[in-house]
Chain A
């Protein structure tokens, strides 16, 4: 049945497409379209209530009374029907222009919205998320869907605060999973981007763009040891992809050793290094030749390399995070990285440090590997590198290794990578990170935060199982996922955002701006204590 449906949709679409070949815009399909628009208006609220107010997930259907479950099923059915009816309908040009103009007006008047307009923004956002986006997200971020009267629609932010469209403020202890090391909208970074926007946002890709050179110089000069040559792209996963390609190209070997629960990204190369089954299985087969070892256990790496040498497996590189981020801020033993360096030298394989989350001061040093004075062969950066304003990532290596890329510069290239706007943000981010000494601030605030959390842990030892971290990359582990989730949602209700979600709330991660004032740390600790007390 599934397949028949699919074919029907295709056949319909193809027929319709045929009528408008060569025209840029799909016209509304005559009278039927008009009638349909009316129907859509009537249906939208049903879809809304089905998909947001009552979460669609299995849990929602299991919980609650039988009547409630029936109601959920009914509205889901209605929503599905509405979607099916809408299947092939499209707006006319006039409608698109009108609708988009309305949004432009909203954007332009962002700080002067009337309460009615704000409510409308909330409603439409939830609707658009469900209709055009991954509706799973609203359920996934259950804390949001559960929030009082209106879903929290983000609107603006500054420093350690995020404000939603209704004007409610939240302390951001999630930091966009590590992008907001310099805080949200750091004025110096925003200013650099704004001015660059006036001149040349993206590069011609034929002439030489000076900002890419300037950022490369800065990075080349602050990176550990002899890491000097870099390549810029837009995000962490691309940085890891590039590092893997460079490692294979240089060593002429194909294998990698990665760590269990390691996280390096979700494109096919980086996903192949992913140390968590849940994210891999549906997309297999991935790259071959990847071997996994326990994080923090250098002996196992050595054993794996020895084994590979004995049986003739080619290993190009060992890849690891200085501190495992997504796994819940796992800090390795102090001799781990120095030993990795020794072992990689001994077996003549490259050492790749994935500093996407740990780089740019997050752990209390500019780069995570600096805690142990280790110089990797390739280092990946992302997240905070763009100053919390632009997507930007990089991989950086030694001139010696880099030579293999210079023979043919098109062996690895990127259309958007290293665009001037991102580079302006990167230059400003480095400037801010060093001039405000964000790494030192992270070390200091991190120690203070951890001490406060441990004090709280001592009072709720049966629920708070572990408090760990380095600098301001902190994880708090609870006894159960359910409990962790209650804590995250309790904190949310008290105006604090942390990374604890429906699927992974056993450990909540705390990654605030590195410049978070002590007063706010105290406030967060107070809210956590309050939340835990209310859950006892």
Chain B
């Protein structure tokens, strides 16, 4: 493949790229596990995206209701993000790591201005798992204690630290031993946290709404109670907002639903603006001061790159300016009502509809049915995903600015698919 590819592709080129794409995946990456049907595989080769639409190599359009597991809150290639990134690309994509890089400082400032409470100091990295790694390190450094409390069924990432606090055995088991002193408690049960805290507990880490766990929304008093317990017991509270942050659940940050200010907040996914990978953790001046002893205690080569910072700055700006959290709340409520209607028509297939904002889960009767539904939706050119920790939950996470008529098409496609499966 010769890059850049600037011209429209001929049919022959499309075929070549599709065929090579599949062969290369199978030979040099992971064998693509799904189908053996070559023609079908070829249709799976993605090529471009815009807004809530993805096109495959043949130009066929799909409605993206998966949103890259939450990264495409602004849709694909939001023109303002792309423009700012392109501009930065022409000047300084990565940084010298020696001189002062003004672009990333600006992103830090913007984040501080919208972050809950007195969260103000940010460390930028490239992904959610790194954000969690950093948060865990900071919690130990600040408290001089070692233990963590996490929730069962949680998902925080797959590097050794974040994996240690991920509450799902299938991801942990093959890689043990992980970090010691991690206690898991049921999600949604604040009293269990109070019981689990011990002399050496550094922090409690939770998702506002469990995403990979199958879109689990906790009781409304959960976060305020956890906050009170952590303050009382002098333990840090880490909010993993990697998936919920920047408007996804109908508030700018998930914890805002309950007026809770965590001690450390992790972001990633949508912080990328859907364009450049970006992650971060943000905390108070006081807690961050623990890092000041030696700024090299925690550092990252690519972490502060200005290209990602530009994307993050734009993501924050557009999300706030266009009131996307409110839009997510409104569209999410309406969509959940319609999904509920579908459920009442097919109660034997859909067990539950739940969610917050545009982070929505459909709990299917079993995994096979979930997979069949995703397959039927795919045939109707709608992309959805299942939850990593709970594969029978179909996740719906479209861009927050998705046009309403595309959501109508999703509902129609769902109705047809369920009908077909029921027949």
Contacts and interface: CB of A to CB of B under 8 A. Distances in A.
Contacts of A126: 100
A497 B93 contact: no
Contacts of A406: 30-31, 33
Interface stretch (A35-43, A151-159, A346-354): A151-159
A265 B20 CA distance: 34
Contacts of A503: 294, 296
Interface residues of B, number: 167
Interface stretch (B168-176, B189-197, B406-414): B168-176
B300 A206 contact: no
Contact of B28 (A228, A283, A382, A504): A228
B178 A14 contact: no
B286 A282 contact: no
B175 A248 contact: yes
Interface in B201-257: 224, 227, 231, 234, 247, 250-252, 255-257
Contact of A417 (B98, B127, B259, B305): B127
A320 interface: no
Given A203-B68, A219-B28, A190 B22 contact: no
B355 interface: no
A287 B291 CA distance: 21
Nearest to B48: A199
Contacts of B69: 205, 415
Contacts of B68: 202-205, 415
A279 B47 CA distance: 43
Interface in A25-40: 25-26
A231 interface: yes
B212 to A, nearest CB: 10
Nearest to B103: A107
Interface stretch (B274-282, B346-354, B359-367): B274-282
A268 B99 contact: no
A208 interface: yes
A132 B112 contact: yes
Interface residues of A, number: 171
A136 B100 contact: no
Interface in B78-118: 82, 84-106, 108-114, 116-118
Contacts of B159: 237-238, 241, 267-269
B199 interface: no
B158 A103 contact: no
B96 A172 contact: yes
A179 B110 CA distance: 27
Contacts of B275: 197, 201-202, 421
Nearest to B80: A104
B99 A391 contact: no
B123 interface: yes
A194 B296 CA distance: 32
A18 B59 CA distance: 47
A185 B286 contact: no
A288 B247 CA distance: 39
A18 B255 CA distance: 10
B321 A416 contact: no
Given A137-B295, A287-B177, A132 B4 contact: no
Given A24-B251, A234-B277, A503-B294, A154 B101 contact: yes
A210 B313 contact: no
A162 interface: yes
